[in-house]
Amino acid sequence: MSEPALRQIEANGFGIRIAEQGPEDGPVVLLLHGWPESWYSWRHQLGALAAAGYHAVAPDMRGYGATDAPESPELYTVEHLLGDAIGTLDMLGAEQAVLVGHDWGSILAWQFALLRPDRFRAVVGMSVPYTGRQPAPPLEGMRRARGDEFFYILYFQDDGIAEAEFGADPRGLLQRLYVGMESGDGLGLLAGGPQREPGWLAQASPPLPLPDWLSQQELDYYVAEFERTGFRGGINYYRNFDRNWELTPQLAGAQVQQPAIFIAGEQDGVIAMFGPDMQDAMRSAVPGLREIVMVPDSGHWVQQQSPNEVNAALLGFLEGLD
């Protein structure tokens, strides 16, 4: 099996690096990564999709890798990111694509499907479900729910603070996140808790040893990317929660009608944030939902931790579309 090809394109007036694999005339599957990741997060899916006849395309999202990374948070809204996706499809000559998103990529995939159903014919969300538009700006709800507790999304709102901390120790952040997110190492990514020390990494335990699913070479790839680019671009996504809400009032009550599936690890702490009624809420907000796949013994980085299970679910869904 050949390796993914990396190339630079111009889309939406923007320089974007894409990884692609599979026949150019195959149906396009657009894979959107989350934070803090890159196209490389889909390394186990690109070849599997290509072997099944799909044109798999995984961009470095705006602000990541070799894609342009503007400084201003206001250039990372859902409208800008949707423009990048549409521009990529236009450059590929593709009328439509299936969207596959993980983490922030999943948040965007659901919104892209709602905003441009003419261009996105189906959705695969991973880790972050769609349960409908919130009735109030999201940060307002987070501040009310968290009170004085430390919470990473709220920490990210102070311009320049988080990116400076993470930029001083990219390996320390990434190894803690990739390895310790579901292991209770004290990082406090999801659970929150009292602020014991300034910043985030000072509150965490030392990085844990690498698991079987992440080799030293693979971690080194991510570290090298963020040593070169820094973390500001990815953190800017979080600074647009309220702005995105304000930009999309038309999504109040909107439902994702396209065929869809949701995939997540059973140990993914993100799922717990949505409460015990998540699956019912998702079925109401996504009438086209065909399946919810909860992968045993897997956590937040599900497509990397359990590629065989994820690829089987993904390809089964795609075959059902065709």
As annotated, the active-site residues are: 103, 300
Positive or negative CA dihedral for 10, 15, 16, 17?
A: positive
Q: In what order do the strands lie in the sheet with 28-32?
A: 5-11, 14-21, 55-59, 28-32, 97-102, 120-126, 260-265, 289-295
What are 9's strand-pairing partners? Answer: 16
- What are the phi and psi torsion angles at 48 (to 5°)? -65, -40
Q: What is the dihedral of CA 69, 71, 75, 78, to 10 degrees?
A: 60
Could you give the CA distance from residue 159 to residue 88 in angstroms, rounded to a whole number? 29
Q: Reduced to 3 states, what is the DSSP secondary structure of residue 5?
A: strand
Nearest to 201 by CA among 159, 157, 167, 246: 167
Which residue type does 317 have? F
128, 107 Cβ separation under 8 angstroms: yes
Q: Reduced to 3 states, what is the DSSP secondary structure of residue 298?
A: coil
